[in-house]
Amino acid sequence: MSVQAREIRLASRPHGWPTEENFAFADVELPSPGAGQVLVRNTFMSVDPYMRGRMNDAKSYVPPFQIGKPLEGGAVGEVLESGVDGVAPGDLVLHGLGWRTHALTSEFTPLKPIEGVSPSHFLGALGMTALTAYVGLLDIAQLKPGDTVFVSGAAGAVGSLAGQIARLKGAKRVIGSAGSAEKVERLTGKLGFDAAFNYRDGDVRTLLAAAAPDGIDVYLDNVGGDHLAAAIDSLNRNGRIAACGSISMYNEKELPPGPNNLHLIVGKRLTIRGYLVVDHGDRLPDMIREVGTWLASGELVAEETVADGLDNAPAAFIGMLRGENTGKMVVRV
């Protein structure tokens, strides 16, 4: 069996914000899988901030996408045809060939469907997104019960899980920032944050100081910029920052200057530690066990913004960079 597949390629490298012109669609024919391969019909694909970095032709922690070649990213799908013993048509798998309707691959992870939980969550609340929050809080920032925790991008994929995981792990107070009044309301309403603010309402330092009158102990940073400076101001002695991204920088053509209060890390004995979730795959089973339990019991809410159709993937990706999503942004292929 061969299938007609549609894929999205990098047409040109964005300068600053990406536009739809940077993407091109192509139809290809995929053959039957060889030994060790599976042919998968993708059901959901992930759009994530780090993909913006791969669109630049710059040395980074993952190699850049190539112009004229299909984009890549996390996806889940159903096996159509299998060249692997023990994997049968209909099986659910996770793999790295998103941005296309079908994938032919030898690198995949079989998934066990969870009753009542959409398979799309394996791209979010039970996948790398949640692992980013989980490892950042517990391993990198060494969250302790009683800590006050600040999460930026708190209505986003990582942030909305991070705030809830912090609370469920015993944080005394959880504070989030987001980019609209609606998001802020959802943080304190639906997601159980103790306080939240709209960072567009004023100076982030002032807004955070008001939301955290007794300071913060842990900051999960996925935006950098003003938020990082504000966190350094508000951190208490021995505070920890886990840095997993700088979305505020990804579309800047010239790098803005950094925080002018970095010298405070000495007197306050602060630790800033960068990490990438790819180094922490060993924690995936722990995370799935803990978060899976919370998800099943309803203690944790896994929000998703689902865009429909592969054709809408570029718009979904750009929208995610602009913060238009609530929780994890995925595309139903």
List residues near its own copies by CB under 8 A. 60-61, 224, 228-229, 243-246, 249, 255-276, 279
Q: Which is nearer to its own copies, 181 or 262 (CB)?
A: 262
Q: What is the DSSP string of 169-232?
A: TT-SEEEEEESSHHHHHHHHTTS--SEEEEGGGS-HHHHHHHH-TT-EEEEEESS-HHHHHHHH
Q: Which residues contact 318 (CB under 8 A, 6 or more apart)?
A: 17, 18, 19, 20
Residue 332 token pair: 């139903």
Nearer to its own copies, 189 or 256 (CB): 256
Burial 70-79 (b: 16+ CB within 10 A, else e): bbbbbbbbeb
Q: Which is nearer to its own copies, 2 or 60 (CB)?
A: 60
Residue carrying the six token digits 């997104």: 129
Reduced to 3 states, what is the DSSP secondary structure of residue 315? helix
Q: Cβ 52 to its own copies, closest distance in Å?
A: 12
- Give min distance, CB of 140 to its own copies, in A: 9
CB 157, min distance to its own copies, A:
16
Contacts of 45 (CB under 8 A, 6+ apart): 73, 74, 75, 98, 99, 100, 123, 310, 313, 330, 331, 333
Query: What is the closest distance, in whole angstroms, from the C-beta atom of residue 212 to its own copies in the complex?
Result: 17
C-beta closer to its own copies: residue 9 or 227: 227
Select 246 or 326, whichever has its Cβ closest to its own copies.
Answer: 246
Phi, psi of 9 (to 5 degrees): -110, 160
Cα distance from N-terminal residue to C-terminal residue, the chain: 21
Minimum distance from residue 219 beta carbon to its own copies (Å): 13
Residue nearer to its own copies on the CB measure, 168 or 264: 264
Task: State in angstroms the smallest separation of the CB of 257 from its own copies.
Answer: 3
